[in-house]
Amino acid sequence: MRSFCIAFLVLMSVSYVFSQTVTLDQPRSISLKPSETLKIPCNVSVSISSYFWPWVRQKAGSGLEYMGHIQSSGGKIYASSFQGRITVTRDVSKNEIYFEMPNMRNEDSGIYYCARGTR
């Protein structure tokens, strides 16, 4: 069975008003076989209950693709093309957001980003 690689970037030092720096830390890369489950933790340096946290993907040669996000309240919103395919959760006590996509396919190869939305 052929494996494929999912790449992640560590999004660091996202600056905003008041010169506060937000650090988002996630794994750099992972290789999966088709049908395996992708699980990505994203550790955040600020309170996750103060912002919403989108997940986006970039396939080779394409632009960013919004997948969904978790709101500051914990509510979840998914893009229609990913509804029922992904799950985004969080652990407020650890300041972590989690992305999960079961049953990976070759066409799911790409770079996956966690990001911080505005308040």
User: Does residue 7 surpass a pLDDT of 50?
Assistant: no
19 band by pLDDT with thresholds 50, 70 and 90 = very low
Choose the most confident range, by mean pLDDT, from 5-9, 39-43, 89-93, 115-119. 89-93
Domain parsing of the chain, residue ranges? 4-114
Least confident range from 1-5, 29-33, 53-57, 96-100: namely 1-5
**What pLDDT does 3 receive?**
54
Q: What is the pLDDT of residues 64-114, one digit of tens each?
A: 999 999 999 999 999 999 999 999 999 999 999 999 999 999 999 999 999
Candidates 2.90.10.10, 3.40.50.10420, 3.10.150.10, 2.60.40.10; CATH matching 4-114: 2.60.40.10
pTM of this structure: 0.78
Phi, psi of 81 (to 5 degrees): -70, -10
Radius of gyration of the chain (CA): 14
